[in-house]
């Protein structure tokens, strides 16, 4: 009998050792990598596949050939919302590591250490353009303010890129929505930063000149935001024979003078070779300066001599003005205080506040955009080639359209806007076109045009390579305000009257990145993380039930398990005794 018991003990010990060995082997195997790829996997059961990386991101990570090190400045004690952002960032970077062993990361708290260390660290971060967010935190002793850094710094081969983890808050949008958008954009922000750092050569962004376009100081803030990753220059179309591959994207920003046929031909053939163009066009000649000091003003149409070119590509900007009750305000003198005029702000329907409704990656999660005197874009132009037209920006449902000529003044602002007059459906004011485009000069090439192409060894093309172009019916969308000294400038999108920063720069940066994203990384901007908010009223009503359930269920489970275990044990030994 004793020998039998010893044999069972030995057998149990062997089974325990084998079980522990199997667990150890599985643990080692799960953390092992073959060819830099993790052996373990997981199943994403979420409806929107929030834990599944997009295919372009996976391809980007699999092609890494050197270490990508990521410093996340989001460690420490935070409220629940920031804890979620912190956890989501760590989950994403773990997913990155599961694809590539070259990804390494570390979380750090910029607020840790002595006062001297903290101040020195903050000064260094400020030099890198990393500024903290002032967070108000409630605790048992009241409300305290704390500076936090929702940023990450990505390092790759002696180059670095700063990633802002938290989106800017938008008035009227609940903080939890802003936080949810921030979580949804994490994959795109990190993968986009890695992709930019990998570029051996910076793409060239060329602004056209010679036709009254915006000056360098008027687009200085956009230049400042792009210069780390792009080469930005100007091109005078009269001084070049053709536009070649040196232009990654051609930007035509608010021209006021007519384009010659030769210049149009150069743009046309640049597009035929697969070139990408961003058209930022004012159709109607009007701005606040033209209205000041006049009782009334009759705006006229700009003669760009580009209507036939755009029409050929499937777009027509109409000679009209879009008005919207969803608009920003301008100051008007309403009286005198002593010898000084008194100003009040009035909603000005010609200055639209456009909230993107499209789910396209360019505008997804982008805040409100301020547009000045835009016109409608006719999307019903028939094109003989395959062109996909995607509306990106539209006015609200409280819209009005004025055809020119029209008399303009400020008198109507002294009365409340009549909603009955703003009864038009949303009007398209920004359109993306993708596909192949027909040439305007098919069967129209002159001898001088053809001889110029022959000298360069370039064949005329009647249909373009697959490419993209963006048309916006407001040239001011990319213009920053210039100071009185002529050298200082405000951030792009900053409205001096509202004292609010609109998302014009985000829109422009996203559009340029989309134009140049041949690998499809921007697809990650389209990921949607659904916010499933808790019904606080229902939760409060059912709180007692769930508390009892959470406390009682484990106890009930233990009781059932204990009774079952004793019953099985008695039955087993009873059978052995017999």
Quick: pLDDT tens for 403-443. 988 888 888 887 888 899 999 999 999 999 999 999 999 88
Kindly state the helix (H) or strand (E) to which residue 571 belongs, with its residue range: helix 543-577
Contact present, 89 and 179 (Cβ < 8 Å): no
Q: What does the pLDDT look like over 514-567, one tens digit per residue?
A: 999 877 787 777 666 555 555 556 666 777 787 877 888 888 888 888 888 788
pLDDT (tens digit per residue) in 475-527:
999 999 999 898 999 999 999 999 999 999 999 999 999 999 877 787 777 66
Instruction: Tell me how crowded residue 52 is: count the other CB atoms within 10 A of its CB.
Output: 16
Name the band, by pLDDT with cuts 50, 70 and 90, for residue 253: very high
Q: What is the pTM of this model?
A: 0.80
Does the pLDDT of residue 1 top 80, yes or no?
no
Task: Please indicate whether residue 459 or residue 397 has the higher confidence score (pLDDT).
Answer: 397
Instruction: Please give the pLDDT value at position 263.
Output: 94
Chain segment 295-354, per-residue pLDDT in tens: 788 899 999 999 999 999 999 999 999 999 999 999 887 777 777 778 889 999 999 999
Query: Would you call 490 helix, strand, or coil by DSSP?
Result: coil
Q: With helix as H, strand as E and coil as C, how does 513-554 read?
A: HHHHCCCCHHHHHHCCCCCCCCCHHHHHHCHHHHHHHHHHHH
CA neighbours within 13 Å on the CB side: how many for 158? 1
Name the helix (H) or strand (E) containing 92: helix 80-99
- Closest by CA to 135, choosing from 145, 124, 143, is 145
Residue 74 · residue 165 · CB < 8 Å: yes
pLDDT tops 90 at residue 228: no
- Report yes or no: 461 and 272 within 8 Å, Cβ to Cβ: yes
Cα separation, 521 vs 190, whole angstroms: 10
From 163-172, 188-197, 363-372, 431-440, the region with the lowest mean pLDDT = 163-172
Contact status, residue 301 vs residue 285, Cβ threshold 8 Å: yes
The DSSP code for 438 is B
Q: Which helix (H) or strand (E) holds 115?
A: helix 115-127
Instruction: Point out which residues pair with 204 in neighbouring strands.
Output: 231
- In the chain, DSSP finds a helix count (H) and a strand count (E) of 14, 26
What are 340-353's pLDDT values in tens digits? Answer: 778 889 999 999 99
**Interatomic CA distance for residues 311 and 568, integer angstroms:** 84
Q: Does 138 or 255 have the greater pLDDT score? A: 255
The 3-state DSSP class for residue 574 equals: helix
Residues 144, 134: Cα–Cα separation, whole Å: 10
Higher pLDDT, 569 or 131: 131
For strands 340-354 and 369-372, give the pairing. antiparallel
User: CB-hemisphere CA count at 13 Å for 419?
Assistant: 4
368 in Cβ contact with 326 (< 8 Å): no
**What integer is the mean pLDDT of 260-269?**
94
Residue with the bigger pLDDT between 52 and 48: it is: 52
- DSSP per position, 165-217: -SPPP-TTS-HHHHHHHHHHTHHHHHHHHHHHHH-SSPPEEEEEESSSPPPGG
Q: Is the peptide bond before 405 cis (omega within 30 degrees of 0)?
A: yes
Structure tokens at 74: 């989001």
């Amino acid at each position: 009998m004793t020998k039998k018991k010893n044999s069972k003990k030995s057998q149990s010990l062997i089974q325990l050792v084998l079980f522990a060995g199997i667990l150890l082997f599985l643990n080692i195997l799960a953390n092992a990598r073959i060819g830099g790829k993790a052996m373990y996997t997981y199943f994403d059961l979420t409806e929107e596949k929030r834990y599944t990386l997009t295919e372009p991101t996976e391809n980007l990570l699999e092609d890494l050939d050197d270490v990508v090190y990521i410093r996340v400045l989001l460690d420490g004690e935070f409220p629940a919302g920031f804890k979620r952002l912190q956890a989501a960032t760590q989950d994403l970077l773990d997913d990155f590591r599961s694809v590539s062993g070259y990804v390494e990361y570390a979380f750090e708290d910029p607020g840790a250490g002595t006062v001297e260390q903290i101040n020195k660290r903050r000064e260094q971060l400020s030099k890198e353009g990393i500024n903290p967010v002032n967070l108000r935190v409630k605790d048992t002793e009241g409300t305290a303010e704390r500076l936090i850094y929702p940023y990450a710094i990505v390092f790759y081969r002696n180059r670095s890129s700063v990633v802002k983890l938290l989106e800017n808050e938008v008035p009227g949008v609940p903080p939890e929505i802003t936080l949810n958008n921030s979580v949804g954009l994490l994959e795109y922000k990190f993968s986009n930063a890695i992709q930019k750092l990998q570029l051996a050569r910076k793409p060239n962004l060329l602004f056209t000149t010679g036709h009254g376009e915006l000056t360098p100081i008027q687009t200085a803030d956009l230049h400042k935001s792009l210069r780390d990753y792009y080469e930005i220059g100007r091109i005078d179309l009269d001084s070049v024979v053709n536009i070649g591959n040196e232009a990654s994207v051609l930007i035509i920003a608010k021209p006021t003078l007519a384009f010659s046929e030769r210049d149009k031909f150069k743009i046309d053939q640049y597009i035929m070779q697969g070139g990408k163009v961003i058209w930022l066009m004012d159709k109607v000649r009007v701005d606040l300066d033209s209205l000041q000091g006049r009782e009334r003003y009759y705006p006229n149409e700009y003669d760009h001599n580009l209507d036939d070119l755009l029409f050929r590509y499937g777009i027509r900007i109409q000679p009209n003005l879009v008005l919207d009750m969803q608009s920003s305000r301008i100051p008007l003198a309403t009286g005198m205080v002593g010898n000084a005029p008194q100003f009040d702000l009035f909603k000005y329907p010609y200055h639209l506040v456009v909230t993107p409704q499209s789910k396209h990656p360019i505008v997804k999660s982008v805040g409100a955009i301020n547009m000045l005197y835009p016109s409608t874009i006719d999307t019903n132009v028939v094109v003989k080639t395959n062109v996909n037209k995607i509306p990106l920006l539209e006015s609200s449902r409280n819209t009005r359209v004025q055809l020119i000529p029209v008399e303009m003044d400020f008198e109507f602002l002294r009365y409340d806007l009549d909603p009955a007059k703003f009864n038009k459906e949303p009007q398209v004011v920004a359109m993306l076109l993708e596909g192949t485009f027909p040439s305007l000069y098919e069967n129209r090439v002159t001898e001088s045009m053809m001889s110029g192409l022959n000298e360069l060894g370039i064949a005329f093309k009647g249909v373009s390579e697959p490419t993209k172009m963006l048309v916006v019916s407001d040239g001011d969308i990319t213009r920053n305000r210039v100071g009185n000294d002529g050298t200082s400038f405000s951030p792009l999108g900053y409205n001096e009257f509202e004292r609010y920063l609109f998302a014009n720069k985000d829109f422009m940066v996203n559009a340029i990145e989309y134009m140049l994203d041949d690998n499809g990384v921007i697809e990650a901007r389209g990921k949607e993380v659904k916010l499933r908010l808790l019904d606080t009223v229902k939760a409060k009503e059912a709180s007692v039930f769930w508390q009892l359930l959470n406390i009682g269920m484990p106890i009930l489970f233990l009781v059932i398990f204990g009774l079952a275990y004793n019953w099985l044990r008695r039955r087993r030994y009873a059978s052995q005794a017999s």
